[in-house]
Amino acid sequence: MISFGGMDLNKWFTFIALVLVSVFSVALVTVRAMYSGELLFIFLLWNLFLAWLPVAFAWLALRMRKWPLAALSVTLPWLLFFPNAPYMLTDLLHLKARAHVPLWYDLILLLTFAVLGLFLGFVSLRMMQDLINGYFGFAAGWLFALAALGAGGLGIYIGRFLRWNSWDLFTRPLLLMGDIWASLGQPRTAVVSGLLAVLLLFAYVLFSVAPGHGPTLHAAHEGETGP
């Protein structure tokens, strides 16, 4: 089971790699700003922070796995912020030729954030899936993952095309729900959300079959050993 307490060496390498790539991503934005004198891509730093939140919630849930009700209560905030991680894939739409900075540099910068966001989302999903595996079994874990990926596709659409944020559910809930409800009748919502969900599913399956990232069948027993 992936957790940041008591995790094996491979899991530590995964976490350290995510941190290092995050530092590299911040450095790319910083260098670009210093070279061009523009703060054009500074918003990516906020997006990166939001992409780390699902990992933090998943880590918290696993830390509380001895108390199922407390651990499962974290599922809702995790699901709310989960789409923020793969959402960074859509930041590639900002790529275009600009003065002062070579196009290839912006391509590398945006790709770095996009890939990092995707992996942050998948690592957090694997952690939550292992938690569900431990409580309800392997099949339930994959049903949870499929539902989360579907919700992720819709969440990306809501963020990118409807321009809502996760915290708007708390600050402007009626306006948000009204806009989402109105958009559900539009074909574009189903098509774009569905294609994004399929993309996430294929990518997550490839991520899951990689050595060291497969779902564990004995997560509940591992949880009994302590954090």
| CB of 123 closer than 8 Å to CB of 196 | no
Cα 223 to the center of its chain, rounded Å: 24
Does residue 21 form part of some domain?
yes
Least Cα distance to 77 among 61, 90, 94 occurs for: 61
For every residue of 19-34, DSSP letters joined together read HHHHHHHHHHHHHHHH
Pair of tokens at residue 182: 């109105």
Q: 38: exposed, middle or buried (C-beta count within 10 Å: 0-12, 13-18, 19+)?
A: middle
| CB of 121 closer than 8 Å to CB of 54 | yes
The amino acid that residue 162 corresponds to is L
Rounded to whole angstroms, the Cα distance separating 54 from 223 reads 20
Handedness of CA 109, 115, 117, 119 (dihedral sign): negative
Does residue 213 form part of some domain?
yes
Does residue 2 form part of some domain?
no
* H/E element, 42: none
Question: pTM for the whole thing?
Answer: 0.86
| CB of 217 closer than 8 Å to CB of 138 | yes
pLDDT at residue number 212: 59
Q: 115-170: per-residue pLDDT in tens?
A: 999 999 999 999 999 999 999 999 999 999 999 999 999 999 999 998 888 888 78
Number of domains in the chain: 1
Q: Which domain holds residue 163?
A: 9-223
Does residue 188 form part of some domain?
yes
- Return the residue matching tokens 């069948």: 217
Does residue 4 form part of some domain?
no
Is the model's pLDDT at 4 over the cut of 70?
Answer: no
In the structure, what pLDDT confidence band is assigned to residue 213 with cuts at 50, 70 and 90?
A: low
CB atoms within 10 A of CB 178: 11
Is the model's pLDDT at 208 over the cut of 80?
Answer: yes
Rounded to whole angstroms, the Cα distance separating 89 from 120 reads 12
Rounded to whole angstroms, the Cα distance separating 189 from 207 reads 26
Q: 7-36: per-residue pLDDT in tens?
A: 566 778 888 999 999 999 999 999 999 999
Does residue 3 form part of some domain?
no
Least Cα distance to 90 among 28, 142, 170, 159 occurs for: 159
Does residue 1 form part of some domain?
no
